[in-house]
Amino acid sequence: MANKIFNDPIHGNIELEPLLVKIVDTPQFQRLRFIKQLGGAYFVYPGASHNRFEHSIGVCHLAGRLVRSLKEQISKAPDSTIKITDKDELCVKIAALCHDLGHGPFSHLFDGKIIPKIRENVNGKIWKHEQGSVDMFDHMLEENGELEEEFNEELSKEDKTFIKEMIVGPPKSIKDRNNMDETDKTWPYEGRPKQMAFLYEIVSNKRNGVDVDKWDYFARDCHSLGIGNNFNLDRCISFSKVIEVDGEQQICYRDKEVHNLYDMFHTRLLLHQRAYQHKTCNIIEYMLTEALVLADNFIEFQGKNGSVRMSDTIHDMKAYTLLTDDVIHRILESNDDGLRKSKGILQKILKRDLYSFVGEKIFPGGTFVRKVASKDEVAGKKGMPAKERMKLQKLSLLKKTFKRHWKTTRSFAKLLPVLINLL
């Protein structure tokens, strides 16, 4: 099977190897066509119609470009002990292609707001889409025999571990390091040795956040939203180099690229200010969250062992494959009385009958870091002036009142008068 070329509006022609094409041509990957990259922003920005599908292909393309650039730089250093193999490059590209397989409806809205409101944690920890990506990756291989066969022919078990580690981060369960060299005792990964640490910084950089995932979505989001982007990713790729820093091989950039990197973080700030945290986007996403949380007990998906409710699909990848942005249409088309409230909220969004924006306040840094005194501490401070004690007691009362009323009303409009009466 020959390489396949995808025509992308951001990066131009993208060429993918046969194994990558087989991954793209699975139901698990095609599902990403139906998940909006920017969640509820499409209800505000008409151009924000791009999906996780094209973003994932773009990240794969950039990951390949960066690996090849680093390989070229390393080859120019004859005394270098590092060698990037073709298998390393393929693994990095697979991780980049599959890094978002675990996203749910409206992308970050699902794992960032919907799931936390329905359940506090999963198996003692907060569930994130990265874990879903790893689970979906395993499910994809299980469900597509030809793909799994080719995958096992080209890559080893160690390579598979490496791919998953690049997506989700280091395994938390590694405790026994007796078989490792003394110098590698603190190395948390199993897929590749410490000498190849820089490979873990390409798709999802846990060290400084500079990675190809951001490079693609900055360019793609700015293009779709109509927001200017001064960051030049091509220069970053060209001026990247692997250098040993603090005993680890890291991806570094020329000093003259510092202003380009400033532009990268400034672009991120602009995107948050103008789009990701846009007040109307936040209102719509709040309403979508409310609608889907209310619908959780009344909408089901077919899993491996029968039907499961929406929030339980994160444990059943067969059911999760069916869960996309289309869930709101299932609610809107339903006549189930249990979905009446959810349906009403979604109809309000479509009619532009949105919740009101009450206001906002920017607090100085450290406002919420300072410790609030408890009752015992207040009582114990005998030397504290009466006014200060009153302030602390009032603050404690406001905090408790907010928590109690918020659980029942979930409405700022109803909560505000109650808090004002206490002031």
Task: State the first-to-last Cα distance of the chain, in angstroms, to the nearest integer.
Answer: 71
**195: exposed, middle or buried (Cβ count in 10 Å: 0-12, 13-18, 19+):** middle
Closest CA to 125 of 176, 168, 178: 168
At residue 79, the pLDDT reads 81
Q: Where are the domains of the chain?
A: 4-281, 375-422
The SS3 of residue 122 is strand
Compute the distance between CA of residue 367 and CA of residue 327 in angstroms, rounded to an integer. Answer: 39
Radius of gyration of the chain from its Cα atoms, rounded to whole angstroms: 25
Q: Does 381 have pLDDT greater than 60?
A: no
pLDDT band at 1 (very low <50, low <70, confident <90, very high): confident
Compute the distance between CA of residue 106 and CA of residue 52 in angstroms, rounded to an integer. Answer: 10
Per-residue pLDDT tens digits for 44-98: 999 999 999 999 999 999 999 999 999 999 988 878 889 999 999 999 999 999 9
Q: How many helices (H) and strands (E) does the chain have?
A: 19, 6
Q: Please give the distance of CA 280 from its chain centroid, rounded to a whole number.
A: 21
Block residue for tokens 């009450």: 358
- DSSP letter for 177, please: -
DSSP percent split of the chain into helix, strand, coil, nearest 5: 60, 10, 30
At residue 361, the pLDDT reads 79
Q: What are phi and psi of 46, to 5 degrees?
A: -60, -25
Q: Which residues of 11-25 are buried (b: 16+ CB within 10 A; e: fewer)?
A: beebebbebbebbbe
Per-residue pLDDT tens digits for 213-260: 999 999 999 999 999 999 999 999 999 999 999 889 999 999 999 999
Residue 269 carries which side chain, given as an amino acid letter? L
Average pLDDT over residues 360-381: 61
- DSSP letter for 353, please: -
Residues catalogued as catalytic: 129
Per-residue pLDDT tens digits for 192-202: 999 999 999 99
Give me the CATH code for the 4-281 domain, please.
1.10.3210.10
Determine how many CB atoms are found less than 10 A away from the CB of residue 423. 6
Beta strand residue intervals within 264-354, DSSP E: 300-303, 306-309
In this prediction the pTM is: 0.83
Compute the distance between CA of residue 253 and CA of residue 380 in angstroms, rounded to an integer. Answer: 55
The SS3 of residue 14 is strand
Q: Does 271 have pLDDT greater than 60?
A: yes
Q: Which residues are within 8 A (CB) of 420 and not within 5 positions of it... i.e. 6 or more apart?
A: none
